[in-house]
C-alpha cells in the first residue's frame, strides 16, 4: 500500500496559482497578498489525482467525423432563467450560481427542481448545509413536487460521486461547493485545493454522463465567488444573483455563458411562495417615479439584448463641512465625480462646495457609459432646482471635453422608451443617422452636455 506524506504548498486565492513558497505578488494574476498556505496529502505510488484510477487514453477524432444529436435544450419553464441561459439548460453543462447569503439561490434552484421533476426529468438535490426536513419545509412553501426529485444530505465527495453515477439524474444541484470535501485532500472544506478538486470531479461527471450540474458558490465581501478564480474558468456558465435581500426584487445576471450571450439578466420578485418572474423589468424599475421633481430623469441601459429603463435620481445641496460629500448608489462612484468635474469645467456649474448624491432607483447596478448623459442631467437639474420633462428619456456617453458620444443599439432603446409612453428621447447627435421610421417619439440630438442642459433647464 502506498504511503502518504504531507506536503506544504501555497495557493493564490484569486487565480489558483500553485507555489512551493509564499510570494507577495502572484506571478499569474499579479494580485498582492493572495497566497495562502495549505497542507496536502500526497501518495508516492503515483496514483491519479485524489486516488482515482487512470482511464485509458482516448484517441483523437477528426472534426468532420463528429456528429451532433437532435437533443434540444431542457427548458426550465421559467422564461427569465431560460433567457439568461440562452434558451434553456444544455445537457452535460456545468453551471455556477453565486450570490450573497439569503438572496434566494437555494430557492431559485429548488423551483428549477420542481419544474424539471414535474416535466418528467430525474433530479437530484444534494445539500451540504440543510437537513432533509429543512429542505422539505422550504419545498412546502413553493408548491407540489413530483416523484422524480431525490434529496441527499452529504458532503463527502466520494459518496456524492458514487450516488450520481448510480442514479444517473438529468439534473443535479450541489448546495454548496464550499461544503464539499475529498478525503484524500487533507485541507479543510472550502479551501482552494478542496474547491478545485470538487469542481474537477463534477466537471468529469457532467461531461462523461451528460448530467447538467448546478453548483452553488458563496461570495466574498467583494462580490466574487469564494475560492480560486479557476473555478469560474472551469464551469460552462456563471450566474450571479444580485439585489438587496431586504427588498423584494432579485436580478439574475449571466457573466459567462459558453452556450449563449453574456450579460443577460432575469428579474425576479421574492414573494411568499418563492420567486416570481417579472416579465416587464422596465415598468418594474420605474414604479413609483415622482412627477415634477427636480434631479430625476429616465435613462436606458442594454443588458445583453434587453433594453431596460430606470430612473436616475440626484440630490445636490450646499455642504455644512469644509469637504463636500459625494455618494453614488448603483453606479461607479469615480464616474460620478468625473461627470461633475465636466459639468464644472465645461458648463460652469460651481459645485465645489456642494454635497452630491446619485442613486439608481430600483436596485440596478449599472456601469455602462450610456447612462452618463442621464447622470449629468439629473445632477444639473437638482443643482438648478428645475425639473426635467417627465416624458423624456436621455442616454449618451460624455467625454472629458463635454461632448456627447454615440451609444450602441440606439433603436432598441428608443423603442423601449416609446413602449412605456415616453414621448421625447435625448440622444447623441451622431446617432441620428442610424434611426429609421421612428414614430410617436420626438428625437433631440445633442452634440455636447452644454447643449443638453441649455435645452432642458434654461
Shared domain for 44 and 122, answered yes or no, is no
SS3 state of residue 412 = helix
Least confident residue range of 40-54, 125-139, 155-169, 244-258:
40-54
Residues 6+ apart with CB under 8 A from 307: 282, 300, 301, 409, 412, 413, 415, 416
> Residue 67: inside a domain, yes or no?
no
| Residues 30 and 119 grouped into a single domain | no
For the stretch 65-108, pLDDT in tens is 887 765 578 999 999 999 999 889 999 999 999 988 888 899 99
- Which of these ranges, 149-158, 243-252, 317-326, 420-429, has the smallest mean pLDDT? 243-252
The CATH number of the domain holding residue 289 is: 3.30.230.10
Confidence of residue 12 (pLDDT cuts 50, 70, 90): confident
Cβ-based neighbour number of residue 413 at 10 Å = 24
Same-domain status, 337 and 408: yes
Domain holding 38, by residue range, is 4-48
Q: For residue 58, is it within any domain?
A: no
In this structure, what are the phi and psi dihedrals at residue 141, rounded to the nearest 5 degrees?
-70, -30
* pLDDT on residue 249: 81
389: pLDDT strictly greater than 80: yes
Q: What's the rounded mean pLDDT across residues 398-421?
A: 93
**Contact partners, residue 365, CB within 8 Å, separation at least 6:** 242, 330, 331
pLDDT at 221: 65
Q: For position 4, what pLDDT does the model report? A: 58
Whole-structure pTM value:
0.77
Q: Is 197 domain-assigned?
A: yes
**How many angstroms separate the most distant Cα atoms in the chain?**
86
Domain with residue 257: its CATH number is: 3.40.50.300
Q: What is the pLDDT of residue 48?
A: 43
For residue 251, being part of any structural domain is answered with: yes
Give the best-scoring range by mean pLDDT among 45-49, 148-152, 270-274, 279-283: 148-152
Q: What percent of the chain stands above pLDDT 70?
A: 91
User: 231, 255, 279 — which closes off a domain?
Assistant: 279
Give domain status of residue 154, yes or no.
yes
Average pLDDT taken over every residue of the chain: 86
Asked if the structure places residue 65 within a domain, the reply is: no
The reported pLDDT for the residue numbered 53 is 45
Number of C-beta neighbours around residue 342 at 10 A: 21
Q: What is the pLDDT of residues 179-209, one digit of tens each?
A: 999 888 777 788 788 888 899 999 999 999 9
Say if 59 falls within a structural domain: no
Q: Which of these three, 279, 303, 330, is where a domain ends?
A: 279
Q: Is 154 left (phi over 0), alpha (psi -120 to 50) or beta?
A: beta
Amino acid at each position: 500500500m502506498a504511503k502518504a506524506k504531507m506536503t506544504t504548498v501555497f495557493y493564490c486565492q484569486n487565480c489558483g496559482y500553485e507555489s512551493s513558497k509564499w510570494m507577495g505578488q502572484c506571478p499569474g494574476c499579479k494580485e498582492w497578498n493572495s497566497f495562502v498556505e495549505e497542507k496536502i496529502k500526497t501518495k508516492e505510488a503515483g496514483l491519479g489525482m485524489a486516488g482515482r484510477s487512470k482511464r485509458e487514453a482516448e484517441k483523437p477524432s477528426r472534426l468532420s467525423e463528429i456528429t451532433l444529436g437532435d437533443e434540444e435544450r431542457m427548458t426550465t419553464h421559467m422564461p427569465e432563467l431560460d433567457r439568461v441561459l440562452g434558451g434553456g439548460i444544455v445537457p452535460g453543462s456545468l453551471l455556477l450560481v453565486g450570490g450573497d447569503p439569503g438572496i434566494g439561490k437555494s430557492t431559485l434552484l429548488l423551483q428549477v427542481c420542481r419544474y424539471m421533476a414535474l416535466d418528467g426529468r430525474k433530479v437530484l438535490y444534494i445539500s451540504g448545509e440543510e437537513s432533509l426536513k429543512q429542505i422539505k419545509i422550504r419545498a412546502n412553501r413553493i408548491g407540489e413536487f413530483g416523484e422524480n426529485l431525490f434529496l441527499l444530505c452529504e458532503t463527502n465527495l466520494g459518496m456524492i460521486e458514487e450516488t450520481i453515477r448510480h442514479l444517473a439524474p438529468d439534473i443535479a444541484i450541489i448546495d454548496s461547493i464550499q461544503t464539499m470535501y475529498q478525503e484524500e485532500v487533507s485541507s479543510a472544506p472550502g479551501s482552494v485545493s478542496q474547491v478545485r478538486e470538487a469542481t474537477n470531479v463534477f466537471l468529469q461527471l457532467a461531461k462523461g454522463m451528460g448530467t447538467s450540474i448546478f453548483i452553488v458558490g458563496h461570495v466574498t465581501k467583494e462580490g466574487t465567488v469564494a475560492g480560486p478564480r479557476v473555478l469560474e474558468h472551469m464551469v460552462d456558465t456563471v450566474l450571479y444573483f444580485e439585489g438587496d435581500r431586504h427588498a423584494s426584487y432579485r436580478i439574475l445576471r449571466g457573466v459567462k455563458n459558453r452556450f449563449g450571450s453574456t450579460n443577460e439578466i432575469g428579474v425576479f420578485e421574492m414573494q411568499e411562495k418563492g420567486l416570481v418572474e417579472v416579465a416587464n423589468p422596465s415598468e418594474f424599475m420605474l414604479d413609483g417615479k415622482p412627477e415634477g421633481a427636480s434631479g430625476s430623469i429616465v435613462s436606458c441601459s442594454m443588458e445583453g439584448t434587453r433594453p431596460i429603463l430606470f430612473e436616475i435620481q440626484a440630490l445636490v445641496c450646499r455642504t455644512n463641512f469644509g469637504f463636500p460629500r459625494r455618494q453614488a448608489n448603483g453606479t461607479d462612484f469615480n464616474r460620478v465625480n468625473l461627470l461633475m468635474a465636466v459639468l464644472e469645467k465645461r458648463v460652469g456649474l460651481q459645485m465645489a462646495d456642494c454635497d452630491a448624491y446619485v442613486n439608481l432607483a430600483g436596485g440596478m447596478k449599472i456601469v455602462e457609459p450610456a447612462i452618463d448623459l442621464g447622470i449629468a442631467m439629473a445632477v444639473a437639474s437638482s443643482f438648478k432646482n428645475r425639473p426635467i420633462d417627465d416624458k423624456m428619456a436621455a442616454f449618451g456617453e460624455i467625454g472629458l471635453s463635454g461632448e456627447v458620444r454615440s451609444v450602441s443599439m440606439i433603436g432598441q432603446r428608443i423603442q423601449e422608451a416609446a413602449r412605456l409612453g415616453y414621448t421625447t428621447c435625448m440622444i447623441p447627435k451622431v446617432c441620428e443617422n442610424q434611426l429609421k421610421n421612428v414614430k410617436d417619439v420626438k428625437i433631440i440630438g445633442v452634440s455636447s452636455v452644454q447643449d443638453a442642459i441649455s435645452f432642458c433647464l434654461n
